[in-house]
């Protein structure tokens, strides 16, 4: 009788441990969600609108055309009067995407929160204005053909 009890206890413990092992292995192999935003950002984007606190502003005031390269180089074309006067219509910058934020070296320390699809890009950031109030800027782009910048 003692052997039957020991054997039953052994089988119970073995079955329990084996079940738990299978459960841990099964849940450990589930794939994590991969954020492919960085890959989607690569390309050339044409600015279609710019909003400050929901109010449209002149669209050529920032990054009229933005080419984001896979090598973390970003070429910005800005046709604003200040850029034309300073002869900085075409500007090169570094970029990265980390922690859900899109960082352009020319815009640091501010970071953009991107929403990107195959053909549309929306960048949003929050800053303090001169009066100390919070201002939300949203820039929207559509994908366009790549341009060869030399």
**72's tokens:** 């973390």
* Alpha carbon distances (Å) from 126 to 8, 18, 21, 142: 65, 52, 48, 22
pLDDT at 8 over 70: no
What pLDDT digit, counting tens, does each position of 88-140 carry? 788 899 999 999 999 999 888 889 999 999 999 999 999 888 888 999 999 99
Q: Where are the domains of the chain?
A: 1-30, 37-144
Which CATH class name applies to 37-144? mainly beta
């Amino acid at each position: 009788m003692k052997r039957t009890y020991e054997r039953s206890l052994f089988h119970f413990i073995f079955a329990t441990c084996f079940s738990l092992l299978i459960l841990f292995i099964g849940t450990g192999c589930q794939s994590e969600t991969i954020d492919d935003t960085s890959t989607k950002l690569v390309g050339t984007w044409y600015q279609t609108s710019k909003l400050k606190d929901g109010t449209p502003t002149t669209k050529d005031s920032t990054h009229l055309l933005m080419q984001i390269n896979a090598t973390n180089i970003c070429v910005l074309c800005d046709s604003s009067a200040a850029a034309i006067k300073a002869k900085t219509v075409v500007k090169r910058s570094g970029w990265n995407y980390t922690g859900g934020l899109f960082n352009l070296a020319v815009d640091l320390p501010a970071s953009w929160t991107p929403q990107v699809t195959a053909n549309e890009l929306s960048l949003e950031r929050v800053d303090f204005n001169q009066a100390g109030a919070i201002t939300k800027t949203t820039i929207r782009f559509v994908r366009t053909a790549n341009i060869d910048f030399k």
